[in-house]
């Protein structure tokens, strides 16, 4: 008999019974609406066991890889442990292993987790300052390449958490993190698919992780990264990205400046406009957009109109929760 576990309880599934039917019959408050896999309201995540492919129809590949499934369509053939997405934010303690300014306003924060954290480059974690101040920061590190989780934290005026990180956090301090979450990460399986990465400011953090993850997994298709700022001092990791460009013939790096004074070696103009000017036909491309929310919103629409499928457009808008 197949069982479904939720929280600290386990239930046997009746013959032909879906996970949604079983859990709601037992009084578990799983949200749902259509019961036919269209609305995706009943989406859950398997924390143990593998959900059947038929329960993942219509979900983004990034969600399928993280074992998300639709409870109304799920008729498991093996025991499953499941959680609602909001239940996945388990707290983990981490030690500050490294602090390094990458430019005048962005700090590299490297965290050594006291218990293992399974993550993908480009996802984000929540960093806890206190009960009232929790902020989301994207992960720039790659599990296969980096020993610890790395974040790029931009110092913002009156930023309660970013100010704490830049002014008070020190090596050896212990912090609390929650997560990871998010579906803005590299998806293997299409090694020849072209990739377009567009970011502003510390939006480079997830893109830097996604880029190195793709290269580490031998992605062969062209990868083009456009990183933008108003002035040159707003960019960072320029040398590291140019070194990767010299090592990998399929990778191209385009640092963009919207200031009136643009030195040699940089692209003039807004980063999203430069990227779309250079790549007007995005049919079949994988697109990643990270940074300022207005840029992300506008560029998501423009890349779709340029031919990219909505399934292939991944976005991480840095709103107030990234401050």
Q: Does domain 88-181 have CATH number 2.40.30.10?
A: yes
- Residue-wise over 152-177: b if at least 16 C-beta within 10 A, else e? bbbbbeebebbebbbeebeeeeebeb
What is the model's pLDDT at position 240? 98
Task: Tell me if 296 sits within 8 A of 315, measured CB to CB.
Answer: yes
- Higher-confidence residue of 141 and 135: namely 141
Task: Tell me if 316 sits within 8 A of 302, measured CB to CB.
Answer: no
Looking only at the bridges linking them, the beta strands covering 251-257 and 133-138 are: unpaired
**What is d(CA 172, CA 189) in angstroms, rounded to the nearest whole number?**
39
> Is pLDDT of 155 > 90?
yes
Task: Tell me if 38 sits within 8 A of 57, measured CB to CB.
Answer: no
> Is pLDDT of 322 > 50?
no
With bands split at pLDDT 50, 70 and 90, how would you rate the model's confidence at 90?
low
Report the topology of domain 195-322: Rossmann fold (3.40.50)
User: Per the structure block, which two tokens stand in for 261?
Assistant: 């004074």
Q: Is the pTM of this model over 0.75?
A: yes
> Is pLDDT of 205 > 70?
yes
Task: Tell me if 49 sits within 8 A of 78, measured CB to CB.
Answer: yes
Annotated domain spans of the chain: 3-87, 88-181, 195-322
CA distances from 222 to 185, 189, 226 (A): 17, 15, 13
> Is pLDDT of 105 > 80?
yes
pLDDT in tens, 67-78: 999 999 999 999
> Is pLDDT of 89 > 60?
no
Work out whether the CA dihedral 144, 178, 289, 255 comes out positive or negative. Answer: negative
Task: Tell me if 56 sits within 8 A of 69, measured CB to CB.
Answer: yes
SS3 (DSSP) at 228: strand
**What is d(CA 13, CA 71) in angstroms, rounded to the nearest whole number?**
12
With bands split at pLDDT 50, 70 and 90, how would you rate the model's confidence at 319?
low
Report percent pLDDT > 70 for the chain: 97
Q: What angle do CA 80, 83, 88 make, to 5 degrees?
A: 130
> Is pLDDT of 299 > 60?
yes
Cis amide linkage into residue 4, ω under 30° from 0:
no
User: Which residue in 147, 149, 140 sits closest to 211, CA to CA?
Assistant: 140
CATH code assigned to 3-87: 3.10.20.30
Fold match, 88-181 / 195-322: no
16: left (phi over 0), alpha (psi -120 to 50) or beta: left
- Higher-confidence residue of 147 and 7: namely 147
What is the model's pLDDT at position 8? 84
Report percent pLDDT > 90 for the chain: 75
With bands split at pLDDT 50, 70 and 90, how would you rate the model's confidence at 35?
confident
What is the model's pLDDT at position 88? 54
pLDDT in tens, 231-252: 999 999 999 999 999 999 999 9
**What is d(CA 107, CA 162) in angstroms, rounded to the nearest whole number?**
9
């Amino acid at each position: 008999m197949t069982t479904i576990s939720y929280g600290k309880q386990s239930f046997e599934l009746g013959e032909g019974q879906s996970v949604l039917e079983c859990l709601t019959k037992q009084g578990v408050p799983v949200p749902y609406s259509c019961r036919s896999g269209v609305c995706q309201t009943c989406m859950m995540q398997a924390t143990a066991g593998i959900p059947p492919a038929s329960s993942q129809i219509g979900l983004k590949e990034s969600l399928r890889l993280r074992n998300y499934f639709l409870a109304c369509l799920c008729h498991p053939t093996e025991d499953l442990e499941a959680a609602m997405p909001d239940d996945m934010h388990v707290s983990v303690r981490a030690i500050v292993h490294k602090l390094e300014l990458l430019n005048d306003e962005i700090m590299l924060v490297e965290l050594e987790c006291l218990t293992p954290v399974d993550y993908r480059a480009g996802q984000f974690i929540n960093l806890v300052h206190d009960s009232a101040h929790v902020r989301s920061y994207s992960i720039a590190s790659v599990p296969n390449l980096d020993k610890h989780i790395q974040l790029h934290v931009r110092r913002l005026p009156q930023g309660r958490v970013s100010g704490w990180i830049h002014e008070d956090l020190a090596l050896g301090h212990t912090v609390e993190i929650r997560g990871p979450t998010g579906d803005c990460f590299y998806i293997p399986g299409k090694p020849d698919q072209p990739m377009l990465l567009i970011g502003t400011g510390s939006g480079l953090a997830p893109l830097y992780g996604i880029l190195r993850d793709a290269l580490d997994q031998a992605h062969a298709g062209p990868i083009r990264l456009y990183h933008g700022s108003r002035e040159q001092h707003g960019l960072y990791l320029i040398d590291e990205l140019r070194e990767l460009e010299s090592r990998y013939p399929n990778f191209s790096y385009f640092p963009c400046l919207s200031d009136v004074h643009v030195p040699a070696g940089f692209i003039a103009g807004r980063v999203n406009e430069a990227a779309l000017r250079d790549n007007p036909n995005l049919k079949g491309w994988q697109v990643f957009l990270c940074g300022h929310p207005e840029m992300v919103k506008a560029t998501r629409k423009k890349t779709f109109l340029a031919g990219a499928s909505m399934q292939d457009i991944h976005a991480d808008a840095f709103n107030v929760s990234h401050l």
